[in-house]
Amino acid sequence: MAEPLTAPARPALRATGLRKRFGDHQVLDGVDLEVAPGSVHALLGPNGAGKTTTVRIVCGLLRADEGRAEIAGHDVVAHSRAARGALGLSGQYAAVDEHLTGFENLHLLGRLYGMSRKRAAARADELLERFRLDDVAGRRSGLYSGGMRRRLDLAGALVARPQVVVLDEPTTGLDPRSRLDMWAVIEDLLVDGVAVLLTTQYLEEADRLADLITVIDRGVVIARGSAEELKERVQGATLALQVRDGSGLDPAARALEAVGVGTPSVDHRTGRASVSTDRGPEVMADLLAHLSRDEVELVDLGLHRSSLDDVFLALTGHGAEAPKDEEETG
Amino acid sequence: MSAPTETRSGVRSEATFLAAGAETLRNGYVLTGRNMRHVARIPGRITTGLVQPIMFVVLFAFVFGGSLGGEDYRRFLMAGIFAQSMVFNASFTTVGLANDLQKGIVERFRSLPMSPLAVILGRTTSDMVVGVATLVVTALCGLLVGWRVEGSLGDAVLAFGVLVLFGFAMSWVGATVGVFARTVEVAQSAGLIWLFPLSLISTAFVSAENMPTPLREFAAWNPVSAVATSVRDLLGNPTPASLPQPDTWSLQHPTLYAVLSSLAVLAVFMPLVLARYRRLTRG
């Protein structure tokens, strides 16, 4: 069983200066990352930002053109066996063997990690119970729901009690209920002092789980900090409106610019526009005065504390899920 | 970094070359077990593996047998069917490997501290086990149509040893097709197409005497011919006078040539599969 962890001074996972090019596309252009034991570091970015490429390099599944990564102090290239021994990876699509039962999946992994049959069986039982899969342990995993499969996949990543767990979009495609379940499971990992690197395109997920968030876009780190710190970067609050018809959008944007801070972001498709503000609700009266002068009709108007979505928009100039490059480059 | 042989998590870190080899064999064995469960659970997998040889025996024995010599031909034929079954067994390796590659499970395997060789070894070994079952069923069918082991027990064991080694070698060819096929669909067709010329342009079922020269040469040096001839010799099954063998070195020393060519196939295809598998899974 797990002996108590002596917290090492060094980060459990460290990547420095990762660069990777596919053809003439620079997917990563100097990404640094560190994850401390017992913490969650979220790598946040839109599709194609380079999240999966980063994860694959950190896990030793892909060779970086430049830079290095180490897990528990082992270089993932030079000492790949030792590094993999300290690593648990749970990928974007659940890597479970659908012809095997939940128990057999975990037992197989335990055996491949070098455990005896008995030890692998005990570990499998333990994990199945912890992930609330004990009821279906004897059923083929091909018959599991999406959420159950993800949990089984995550359990598989934990079989050898890794010091570092890498979760690549663990809740993509899950229904809200399963997503909440998954979050609870991930939070539970930290009790063991595991270092978790999590990629996500859901800002809410990063907000809820991560101690530290790194925002990457087009292969470059564009911001890093706690959720609170990132939110503070977008000043105070966001003033947002939606116009009734498109012709009102330009005057509305001018009005927002006049009362807010910085350049408003405008979405012509939905007729929405927003701007940061450091003022209280009285800003709305000012705005309405501008709008009535220009005879702009609104459908919606609101003032809210900045969310990570606003941060994302402010940092990248586009929303978190805006560019839908379905076949991500890495 | 000096690594202990056993860490806190029970994971072996750095091992010597020999220990690494032993570990690969062990993991290959564990994965063989996993693949055997698949064989038992994937609908149709067993049926195909076992019905196929029955079909071959019945088709060749009664469709061709009638015109080629009846009872005598059936005694001659069985060695050819054994050899052919070992060739066709390779298609299971192709499809099995392509299936694993298309699913996420290989990604999981890649993240383990485990040699990629173990993954392919597990596949070819489990297909070898299925191959042995195929040989047993084929032999039972053979007994029903009048074939008998007419040599010594020792020679019979050697004959089946030659077949299993050859089947294992063919399985690595199948694995190569599997790692080069981009999808399971491609693997299913590409995995079958080479089996026909390889098993039929041979002296497994007929004499090469009436084939055009290029085919005759191919048949004479085709390992399938050597395996069939070797098995026939070892089992004491006579070749009818109407089906003369070419007098090339390969067929005068069929057992030696069968073993050497199987080893040569392994020497070429093992590194090929591994290199491709590594590239494929590195993205």
- For B89-110, write each residue's pLDDT tens digit: 999 999 999 988 888 788 888 8
Specify the pLDDT at position B5. 42
The chain B residue lying nearest A119, using CA atoms, is B10
Distances (CA, A) of B100 to A214, B35, B43, B106, B120: 34, 10, 17, 6, 10
- Amino acid letter, residue B107: E
The chain B residue lying nearest A78, using CA atoms, is B1
Specify the pLDDT at position B280. 77
- Are the beta carbons of A56 and B283 separated by less than 8 Å? yes
- The C-alpha of B276 sits at a distance from chain A's nearest C-alpha, in angstroms, of 15
- Are the beta carbons of B107 and A140 separated by less than 8 Å? no
- The C-alpha of A63 sits at a distance from chain B's nearest C-alpha, in angstroms, of 8
Q: pLDDT tens across B126-170, in order?
A: 999 999 999 999 999 999 988 999 989 999 999 999 999 999 999
Q: How many CB pairs under 8 A join A and B?
A: 103
Specify the pLDDT at position A136. 94
Q: pLDDT tens across A9-53, in order?
A: 578 999 999 999 998 889 999 999 999 999 999 998 888 888 989
The residue extents of the domains of chain A are: 13-231, 234-316
Average pLDDT value for residue range A142-159: 91
From the list A82, A161, A162, the residue facing B14 with the nearest CB is A82
Alpha-carbon span A210 to A197, nearest angstrom: 9
Class of the domain covering A234-316: alpha beta
Query: Per-residue pLDDT for B253 more than 60?
Result: yes
pTM: 0.80
- Are the beta carbons of A108 and B34 separated by less than 8 Å? yes
From the list A2, A112, A161, the residue facing B30 with the nearest CB is A112
Q: Helices in chain A by DSSP H: which ranges? A: 51-58, 80-85, 102-112, 117-130, 146-158, 176-189, 203-209, 227-233, 249-259, 282-293, 308-316
Instruction: Spell out which residues of chain B touch residue A160, defining contact as CB-CB under 8 Å.
Output: 9-11
How many C-alpha atoms does A291 have within 13 Å on its Cβ side? Answer: 24
Alpha-carbon span A104 to A251, nearest angstrom: 64
Specify the pLDDT at position B279. 82
Of B154, B150, B153, residue with least CA distance to B142: B150
The chain A residue lying nearest B28, using CA atoms, is A112
- The C-alpha of A74 sits at a distance from chain B's nearest C-alpha, in angstroms, of 8
Average pLDDT value for residue range B197-209: 89
* DSSP state for residue A175 in the 8-state scheme: -
- Are the beta carbons of B109 and A86 separated by less than 8 Å? no
Beta-strand pair A261-267/A66-71: unpaired
Of B263, B258, B277, B265, residue with least CA distance to B116: B277
Per CB distance under 8 Å, which residues of A are interface residues toward B?
Answer: 2-3, 56, 59-63, 73-74, 79-82, 84-89, 91, 93-100, 104, 108-109, 111-115, 119, 140, 153, 156, 160-162, 330
- The C-alpha of A65 sits at a distance from chain B's nearest C-alpha, in angstroms, of 13
Query: Per-residue pLDDT for A94 more than 80?
Result: no
Q: What secondary structure does DSSP assign to B15-80, as a single string?
A: --HHHHHHHHHHHHHHHHHHHHHHHHHSTTHHHHHHHHHHHHHHIIIIIIHHHHTHHHHHHHHHHH
Distances (CA, A) of A299 to A152, A255, A275, B73, B219: 46, 16, 17, 89, 82
Instruction: Spell out which residues of chain A touch residue B42, defining contact as CB-CB under 8 Å.
Output: 99
- Tally: H helices and E strands in chain A: 11, 14
* Main-chain phi, psi angles of A172, to 5 degrees: -60, 130
Query: Per-residue pLDDT for B68 more than 80?
Result: no
Interface test with B, best of A112, A126, A328 (most B CBs within 10 A): A112
Alpha-carbon span A329 to B164, nearest angstrom: 43
- CATH of segment(s) A13-231: 3.40.50.300
Alpha-carbon span B196 to A175, nearest angstrom: 49
Q: pLDDT tens across A214-261, in order?
A: 999 888 898 899 988 887 776 578 888 998 888 888 999 999 988 888
Instruction: Spell out which residues of chain B touch residue A74, defining contact as CB-CB under 8 Å.
Output: 1
Query: What SS3 state is found at A19?
Result: strand
- Are the beta carbons of A61 and B111 separated by less than 8 Å? yes
Interface test with B, best of A80, A81, A119 (most B CBs within 10 A): A81
Task: Please report the ipTM that was assigned to this predicted complex.
Answer: 0.84
The chain A residue lying nearest B43, using CA atoms, is A99
Specify the pLDDT at position B281. 66
- Are the beta carbons of B11 and A61 separated by less than 8 Å? no
pLDDT tier, B1 (very low <50, low <70, confident <90, very high otherwise): very low
- The C-alpha of A115 sits at a distance from chain B's nearest C-alpha, in angstroms, of 7
Of B17, B19, B29, B10, residue with least CA distance to B118: B29
- The C-alpha of A214 sits at a distance from chain B's nearest C-alpha, in angstroms, of 24
Specify the pLDDT at position A234. 62
- The C-alpha of B272 sits at a distance from chain A's nearest C-alpha, in angstroms, of 20
